[in-house]
Structure 1
Amino acid sequence: MSAKTTILDMNRFDPSTASSLDEHKRDMVRRRAALGNGYRLFYRDPVEIVRGTGSHVFDEQGNDYLDAYNNVVSVGHCHPHVVEAISRQAALLNTHTRYLHETILDYSERLLAKLPEDIDRITYQCTGSEANDLAIRIARNYTGGRGIIVTNEAYHGNTDLVSGFSPSIGMGQELSPDCGLLPTPDTHLHGDEAIGDYMAAKLNEQIALMEARGVKFAGLLVDSIFSSDGIFPGKPGWLKKVADAAHAAGGLYIADEVQPGFCRTGDAFWGFERHGFVPDIVTMGKPMANGIACSATAVRHDILDAFTARIPYFNTFAGNPVAMAAASATLDVMENEDLMGNARRIGAMFVSQLEGLAVEHPCIADIRGAGLYIGVDFDDPATGDPMSVETLELIEHMRRRRVLTSNCGSFGNILKIRTPLVFSAADVDRYMTALADSLDALGL
């Protein structure tokens, strides 16, 4: 069995191998030293991207790559409606939120209308990390507790506070002493039917352990598609049992929608919505404004009021008119082009073709997905061990075929398919051809 890896080191370029690159890329890698060693590139032969459109990006030589990984540009690279909205607003005004401006009000009303009625307040940030940071502070203030529980391989951001609740960053990042860990909701191991009761029981165990060491439970912070854990959407409804357990213990449920939100699952606009319950706080980010820095924390008014009665909140760049114009235009595209329906239809087509491929390749042990977020589990058919090295090789082979994808999970043996929401049937065919050819080339 391969060693446990970390989310930021999966599929990464090793700078010590730069001598194998062409002169232009060697020079760019050398210049990147100014950014520090923390920055990571993808692939053994990094890709230089100079433009994009829809679900495709192009390198400096004009080669077309299929982007099956990017959920930031959720409505597609350089969507003309979003580009026009950004340009128009940037030519008029861009400032902070301490002046009156209609754009933020119009967008907030539209976005809150897509949330449960009880979630009636929204604050803005620039990143998902900031949104989760504020959510934890709000939850602690409201409950009087400190303890936050997350899943075993969760990633919720990189501020000092939130990184302490992001175990997937790796052993070098010390977890908060107020952090409790739930196991990954592994439906491949435990099955779809039992997972709700299993996870609710594990939550109660963690809460009891916290209380035994004098830490009061404040909240459960969950990405409802469990993207870093290995993509475990499960059947709709199972997560409600876990939310109910959190509420019964006096804690809040924080729904981290950075990954599953904004039409991604195809079943509903929000990931938590698939499971039929109302969270207390909802955080969101990446896909909101199609590449412009924008995130938000939406919350019940009583919970937010208890926080702001003590601590005023202001974020200089958050909610600025350009970001709000981009977010509003992104929402236009999602609605007008039926991207939730597209995620549902194309995602089902994707899963069907993957299931067909699995018949020929027994190393494909499990296929899990909701809409356009799909995980493909590669295990050794003889031993059941995760095929970490082989999955990495597979990703490299697909890159040579100009298809961009990545991996996730504790052992990096899960192929991560997370496309722009405009992915088409032709894009699925191209992805599947590259995947089948790569599996054959590797003898898997």
Structure 2
Amino acid sequence: MAVPLHSPEAEHAHDLALARKDILRIATAGSVDDGKSTLIGRLLYDSKAIYEDQYEAVERASKGDYVDLALLTDGLRAEREQGITIDVAYRYFSTPRRTFILADTPGHVQYTRNMVTGASTADLAIVLVDARKGMLEQSRRHTFLASLLRVPHLVVAVNKMDLVDWSEDVYEGIRDEFTAFATKLNIPDLTVVPVSALHGDNVVTRSDRSPWYQGSSLLHHLEHVHVASDRNLVDVRFPVQYVVRPQSDAFHDYRGYAGTVASGVLRPGDEVQVLPSGLTTTIAAIDGPRGPVAEAFAPMAVTVRLTDDLDVSRGDLICRPANAPHPAQDLDAMVSWMTEEPLRPRQRLTVKHTTRTVRAMVKDVQYRLDVNSLHRDLTAGELGLNDIGRVRLRTTQPLFVDDYARNRVTGRFILIDEATNATVGAGMLTPAG
């Protein structure tokens, strides 16, 4: 029997289809003037993801013979005046196969923290290289940061190939150099694509100008790269963000716990444990935006109802009894420092981990990392703006954590200045040692 188009069953099926829809989060990186913003503008334009009035506005603002597609992402006035990207610009577009969330991150060294922000949730990173310049210091820096942030897929877009007459030797030289550098890092999947963002060659469709290149276009690769296996569907982690208690007679018995599934799969009837209390119960039901759902998985936002009336509040974590994260007050982490005032030992900060916020003190700075040479400076006693280093923290209350390599949600945190409430650092938990 056919399901009516506007029936509750059809709406629930639609919600599940949306939840399952393949979403690819992309971060772009590279040196200044490599053409990141132009490449994104070309992707948006050639995939018909911008409106006519947007294109006309960019056309009017452009200078020279070509429409400056970079203006589609460089939205800040300072960015347009200087011709550089300063802040992280997010753009959304879809093809029939996949939905994309694309972060255009800055290329300047002083905006490294912005690149870390954009890549922290990415499934794939695109590092642009100017074919005339080859692999630069910033190319190495951003490739290493993508590796450090455990971005599972890396695409090197060798841009401006039209300016080197589509030389196969230039392409192969850059490809071999990147491949050699990537072998030193934790990069499981590397693809190198020759492109011209200005003219659109190999961006959305294959170009006749590179007959020697046997790979796919950039968009074809983005549509078909396999990311489902990158997600952790084993470790159930559900940080509670909000307790839902409607003030209505019709729902006077309703008590649900809202949040976003960090990893694993939740189903009604599953036995679960609530941390930090350690009490166990079962899931009575899971509610989505339009009603009950049969299962919930990352990154779905749902409300979980439990069989027993337990004391559960914001900051608690729902997991499986036999597979719980370990509580920790001593945290070893790689920290990216994001403010002018240096990070120093004995400094007091606030740690926000998932939905839980606790106070902490810096025990020591073990080393500062040179992201270009990968050298560890063991003599460094502090971390300055844009520095990355290994830090030990001691929290006032236990956090329920996983190593970042295992879970990118429960394995990360941000550091907040207690006086200004500003975010001053981002951390990735690593095994002690």
The answer to whether the superposition gives a TM-score over 0.5 is: no
TM-score, with structure 2 as normaliser: 0.23
TM-score, with structure 1 as normaliser: 0.23
Higher relative contact order (CA 8 A, sep 6+): 1
In terms of fraction of residues, the more strand-rich structure is 2
